[in-house]
Each structure stands twice: as C-alpha cells, then as structure tokens.
Structure 1
Amino acid sequence: MAAYLQVVATKCRDGQMKEWKRKLLRKSTLVLVEVARTGSYRWALSFRRHPNDALDAVFRPVQEEFESWLEGQRLAGDTRELYATVSRTILAWLPERGVTSARALAGSDIAAAVIFLGGRYKPGSMRTAVTAVRVLCRFLEESGRCTGLARAVPRQVSRRVLFADVLPGGDVEALTNSTNTATPQGRRDKAMLLLAARTGLRPVDISGLRLQDIDWAQGQITLAQHKTGALLILPLLADVGKAIADYLLHGRPDGVADEHVFLRSQAPYVGLSPSSGLYNVAAAAFARTTTSPRNGTGHGFRVLRASFATRMLEDDTSLPVISGALGHRGIASAKHYLAADDTHLRDCCLDFAGIEPRTARP
C-alpha cells in the first residue's frame, strides 16, 4: 500500500493526475488498510479543523474568551453557537479593515462590521446578527478592552414577517399515509411524519430522539429539547406509538449500538441529520402527494409543526397551552402562528362605524 501511494503521489507531482484524484485514492487506500487491520471501518472525518483556526494570533484569544464568557450567560446552546459564529466572522474580518487589536476598536469599526454582515446575511436574519454584535460589544466593554461600542450598534433592524407555512388537516393525513410501509425506510418515514404531525416536535428533536426517551409503560415521551435545554413531556399517542414500534421491530437495523430511534437506511447506521436527512424525508412526502402549504412554499418538517399549532388555535386552545406543547419558553413565540388562523382573524375585523370614509369629492 505504501508503494502504491508513492506511485500515486509521483503521478500527481508529474502532472499525470489531478490533486482531487490523488486525495480520493489515498482515502480509499486508508479505508482498505483499516478494514484489513481491524475487520471494519470507522466512519469519521480524516481531518478536523477548529472553527477558530481562521483567526489570527491576536483575535483568536479574544474569540476563545468570548466563547467562555457566553458559557456563563445561561443561553441556549444554539444561541451561544450563533453568537460565537457572528463574533468569529467579525474578528476574522477586522484585520482586513486595518484593526490590529481589540483595544483599538472604535464605534466606526462596529458600524462598518454591521454593514459587512449585511452583505452575508439575509434581511430576515440581520435582526439576530445585530443582537449578536451587541452581545459581543457588551463582552468587550465588560472585559475592559473598549468603551462605548454598543452605541454604534443599530437599535432597530427591519425584519420581514412571513406567514407560517401550514397545511389543512386532510393534506397532513395524506402526507403521513404516503409512505410505503412495506419497506424499512417507509416504516421509519411514516413514524417520523406522524410524530411531527401529532406532537409538533422540532426536527432537531425528532432526529435526536433516543430509545430511552420513550416510556412505553407510561405511554409518554420525555426529552431535553435541543434548542432550549428544557425538559418536555409529551403523550405517546396510539397511532404514533404503533408506527414507532413497527419501525423498531421490523425496520430498524439490528445490532446497531447507536441509541437514536431513527437511523439512516444505509450504512453507516447512525442518527439522521436534522437538516438534510429529515428535510429529504418531508420533501419526498410532499412530492408524492403534490401538496403545498396554503401560506407559503416550505416542504420540511416545520410545516407539520406549524400546522399542528394552527389546528390547536382553530380548536380554541389558549396560547399558554400551545406554547407548552411546542416547548416554547413563553407565549410570544407562539404568536407567530396567529397569522395562519384565518377563522379567528376574521372575528377581529372591525367595521367603519365612527370612522366612515369621507365622501369623495366630485
């Protein structure tokens, strides 16, 4: 194998082979060597880079201290990661502006950083990005590096308000019944779609669901939410439990050490990715049924979550109850779904009594 890799490297050096092909052949060789030595292959990235490797020696310690400071702010994990990503982007860009240290930062640099971020983020995401900039400024001020930076951060950021993508009840049932339950993948997909449609779980929590989270004796699901870290207890409804049991008994690969309930249908048999893996499952169901949300164009699991919340609103369920079922920290997050409740919105319409329009001039 070593001699073979040497030949490959020589061909690449002499221009007889592209670099990408050399890397591919090298990787394939290493796989075969590991299988020959151990009898199996461990699926893992060959090279791992730290996200902060893109920072120079001046700003990397600032970023690492900022990340440690975020740990003590009692923020959700995803929020800390987002703030760290925005901070890392700014600190990597500052040397291009000529800023050589955090102590040399001025309000004009922060204002320029916000403009720089505006070229990288969509308008709907800039509100969160500006909040991350404000948090970074607070850290720099509290650590004694700078003063007066927060005043340079805009207080108001325009944000597009989009309607929630929802489906009527009939279309939801069509989605959940569209899978081919004669196959292991079909059983898995049906269980995930039903779980989303009946409970409104976030996609990341569906992919992260573990075997020990299901209490079959008590008929409930207990899990720590990925976004908030808060404990969420949901009833294990009959059709959901039946679908999950059918997958576990007749569809889930045997002898797998991974504790996730839902696994990839092909090797390596590991938990699904909440972004690509789950989205592909939902998108395929939408394609099979040719259904589309009435207020949008989404085709992911979040449409089922929004549809679940909207059905609860249509059934006169109070916002605190909806927030609790969806795992929100407060009712403000559930208000987003009010715009999709056409029936009750019509009840809020006012007539023109007392504010009649003026008679048009001749």
Structure 2
Amino acid sequence: MTFEEITSGLRQLLSDNNYNPATIKFYEREWSKIHSYLTETYGDSMFDMERGLAYLENKYNFQTKYNDGTLSQQRVQLLRVVHMLEDYRLHQVLTRRYYASKNPIQLNGHYSDLHAKYTETLARSDMSKSTTEHYTTISREFMDYLSQKSIASAADIGIDTCNGYLKTLAGYSFKTVEQKVCSLRHFLRFLYDNGYISCDIAAEIHMPAISKKAKIPSAWSADDLKKMINVIDRNSPIGKRDYAMILLACILGLRISDIKNLHFSNFDWENKQLSLVQHKTHKPLTLPLPDAVGWAVIDYIKNGRPKYFESDIVFLKHMPPFDPIADNDHLEQRIVFHMNKAGIRRDKNKHSGFHSLRHSVGSMLLDMGTPLPVITTILGHSDMDVTGNYLKTDLQKLAECVLTPEGDAHE
C-alpha cells in the first residue's frame, strides 16, 4: 500500500471519528515530512514499520535518545504517528491507543443500543466493578472496529471479523491480549445467547497455551525497600498516608484494591488483627496486625487523614474533594515518587507499583523458610499453585526443586 493510499484513508477516518481539525493538521504535517523522506531515500512512497522507524532515527536519533533516556514526550508522539500509519496499512482501522479522553468513541445507533443492553447485562452480574468496566471498554472498542470495517450489523460478524480485530492487538503483552480476548469472548457469548448472532463464535476463539506463571514476578530487595521507606516524609499528611499504605503492602502483602477499601471496622485494635473480605477473590482474610503497621495507620488517622466525616474508608485522596481513592487509581505514581527521592533506579523490565511490594512479601517469607501453605494463607491466594509463582524470585530455592537425574543418583 502506498503512502498516499494510507494517508488518504487515515484522513477520512480521522474526520469520521471527530478528531479536532488542529490534530488532523498535525498529522498531515508529519505525514508530509515522512513522505519526503521516503521518496528521497528509497525513490518511492511505499511505507512499512521498518521504514517509519528508519525515518525517526535518521531525523531525530530516536532509538539513541530512547536508550539513554533523553527522548522528549513530544518525540514520543511521533512514534504514535508512525504506529498509526502501520496499523492502517495492516488493518485499515484506527486502533484504540490513539484516542484521547477528549475524543471518546461514539457508536452509531445500532451499536449504541447494543452496547447499552450489554452494559445493563453486566450491571446485573456478580462480576467485580473493574471487570465490568474492562468488558464494557473492550466491547465498545470492538464495535467501533466493526463500524470502521463497514460491518453495519452484529448479525454480519464472523470468525474472520474477530480474527481481524485480534490481529490489531499485535505488540501488546500476553496478559493484555489475554484480558482482551476474555472480554471479546464474553461479549460474543452475550450476542449469541440473545440471538444477535447465529453461531457460537466465542467457542472458536482460543488463547495460545502459555502459562500465566511464565513470567518471573517483580520483587524488591530488602535494601531498596528500606531506602524507600526511610525517605518517606512522615511529618506530612500525604507522607503519613503513603507510609501506612506501603507498610500494609510490603509487610502484610495486601493488594492495593484491598488497602484502598479498608474501613475503620476492619481493624480490631484490641486483638491486634485486621479482617477483610478480599476484593479480588471475595474470600475472608484475617491477619495479625504488627505494631509497626498498626501505629502507622493510627498516626495517619489521627494526624494526617483529611477531616472527612461522610466516609468510613480509612485512606482518602489528599486534594479536594477528599473522596476515597478511585478504583482505577493504583497509586503507582506515589511509589515512583518515593523511589526517585531515594535514588532507586527504575528498571523498565520490572514493575514498580504496589503489587511489586506484595510480590516482595512472598519472596521474603520464602527466604525466611516459611512453609508454602502459610504463605498462601498470608497472601490470600486461592491455592498453592499461585503462591508457587514466588519461587521464581529465588534461584537457590529453584535449584532445590530440581530433581537429581537418575544417572547421577548412584554416584
């Protein structure tokens, strides 16, 4: 596909999807620069991702600056321009990663009605709020894809259509693809059960046989944890909050979703216990409350928490209105803030959010020789297979798990 064909199709899609005229002008200026590079360098206007990346490196030293950390956010925007061109060349659609919050997806009448009915069905289910929101988002993206491919009715959806949508997910992590496939299957089952499609297409969509446990979890070293905790400003209200929340994560191993939803009634101060129903598993969990954690929470409640009497949620936002922390705010930025303050280098191959602190609990308990069933109970896992994932953070323990080959057993 020539560059002219790609940009012509993109220009129409941008207009159809209500992009701001100024934004379209920005893309057109960048397309003109890329077109000139293609004709001058290659003598034609054929485009692919390799040529697009060569343009970025030639004009902006893109790869070099990315590797040394000096690439500006403005230059990152140019990578999105190249990705958009490549995605249109491959799929003839605008993919979701290019939509800003100010330009939400607008479904037409048929798909808008369908989405409203699907949303109502999700609201009546017993799924968690985060799962419901995720399914809602992916179904909207899929129906927008159908509109861009000129598929006017859900009745015309086929397995080829779904495979075409799934191809647009190339480049995402396995976990992200898995989540989107699960969402798509659920939506397709809704369509089939309610007579919108005649075939059970969901049954034909399969995930590759890759274990969820294939990736080694991110965990902190004890030294880095101490460095970060020591730099937290425990004299400021937000510092008191962060300190208490981080201790709950790295000492008790609580998920951030459970920490954000802690109520005053979850704390049994007399018996030094913390009891809750886990947000993810819906299972009850009771843990002993160490003095360091308990006093950190008390200090926040008495001396740091905003005077917000309408909520019995313990941890609140510290900017007006002083509401509970949003479900979609995982507070990773607070961990990063304290990491930077402590001079702890961020590794792009490791997570640096609250969940990485939870991983560290499992690893440290393992180092201390804590039996796996006990770690499973402390972390609130559904079974020991999940907890076994933490073995991967300890190479010595992994070595102990290796069976001696039969040929060496008698030596």
Q: TM class by shorter-chain length? A: 0.7 to 0.9
Bigger relative CO (Cα 8 Å, ≥ 6 apart): 1
Match of residue 93 from structure 1: 145
Shift of 1:59: 1.9
Q: Aligned to 2:231, what secondary structure does the other structure show?
A: coil
Match of residue 61 from structure 2: none
- Letter paired with 1:334: T
> Do the aligned partners of 1:127 and 1:158 also contact (CA within 8 Å) in 2?
no
- Quick one: which of 180, 183, 194 aligns to 1:143? 194
> Do the aligned partners of 2:189 and 2:200 also contact (CA within 8 Å) in 1?
no
Quote the Cα distance in structure 2 between the aligned partners of 1:336 and 1:293: 23
Is 1:224–2:247 an aligned residue pair?
Answer: no
Quote the Cα distance in structure 2 between the aligned partners of 1:129 and 1:235: 38
Q: Aligned to 2:168, what secondary structure does the other structure show?
A: helix
Alignment of 1:148-227 (within 5 A): 148-156=200-208, 161-227=214-280
Q: Which runs of 5+ in 1 are unaligned?
A: 1-18, 20-48, 356-362
What do you get for the CA RMSD once the two structures are aligned? Answer: 3.3
Q: TM-score, normalised by structure 1?
A: 0.73
* Structure 1 pair 81–243 and aligned structure 2 pair: CA distance change class (3 A): same
Alignment of 1:7-156 (within 5 A): 54-70=106-122, 74-118=126-170, 121-145=172-196, 146-156=198-208
Q: TM-score, normalised by structure 2?
A: 0.65
* Structure 1 pair 266–69 and aligned structure 2 pair: CA distance change class (3 A): closer
Quote the Cα distance in structure 2 between the aligned partners of 1:173 and 1:133: 43
* Structure 1 pair 95–334 and aligned structure 2 pair: CA distance change class (3 A): same
Quote the Cα distance in structure 1 between the aligned partners of 2:123 and 2:283: 17
- Letter paired with 1:96: Q
- Quick one: which of 378, 381, 391 aligns to 1:328? 381
Larger mean CA deviation between 51-60 and 300-309 belongs to: 51-60
Larger mean CA deviation between 134-143 and 268-277 belongs to: 268-277
Percent of residue pairs identical: 27
Q: Which runs of 5+ in 2 are unaligned?
A: 1-21, 23-100
- Quick one: which of 237, 242, 247 aligns to 2:290? 237
Shift of 1:274: 6.1
Quote the Cα distance in structure 1 between the aligned partners of 2:345 and 2:389: 19
Alignment of 1:261-280 (within 5 A): 261-273=314-326, 278-280=331-333
* Structure 1 pair 345–298 and aligned structure 2 pair: CA distance change class (3 A): same
Q: Aligned to 1:177, what secondary structure does the other structure show?
A: helix
Match of residue 253 from structure 1: 306
Deviations 1:170-196 (A, max 9, x none): 332333232222222322222112111
* Structure 1 pair 167–292 and aligned structure 2 pair: CA distance change class (3 A): farther
Shift of 1:157: 6.3
- Letter paired with 1:140: L
Quote the Cα distance in structure 2 between the aligned partners of 1:169 and 1:316: 16
Larger mean CA deviation between 306-315 and 238-247 belongs to: 306-315
Quote the Cα distance in structure 1 between the aligned partners of 2:350 and 2:157: 43
* Structure 1 pair 224–156 and aligned structure 2 pair: CA distance change class (3 A): same
- Letter paired with 1:84: T
Larger mean CA deviation between 136-145 and 196-205 belongs to: 136-145
Quote the Cα distance in structure 2 between the aligned partners of 1:289 and 1:69: 47
Structure showing the higher helix proportion among its residues: 2
> Do the aligned partners of 1:166 and 1:294 also contact (CA within 8 Å) in 2?
no
Aligned residue pairs, count? 307
Is 1:340–2:380 an aligned residue pair?
Answer: no
> Do the aligned partners of 2:330 and 2:354 also contact (CA within 8 Å) in 1?
no
Q: Aligned to 2:287, what secondary structure does the other structure show?
A: strand
* Structure 1 pair 257–151 and aligned structure 2 pair: CA distance change class (3 A): closer
- Letter paired with 1:280: Q
Deviations 1:168-225 (A, max 9, x none): 2333233323222222232222211211111111122222222232222232222333
- Letter paired with 1:205: D
Q: Aligned to 1:223, what secondary structure does the other structure show?
A: strand
Quote the Cα distance in structure 2 between the aligned partners of 1:136 and 1:255: 40
Quote the Cα distance in structure 2 between the aligned partners of 1:154 and 1:255: 48
Quote the Cα distance in structure 2 between the aligned partners of 1:297 and 1:270: 31
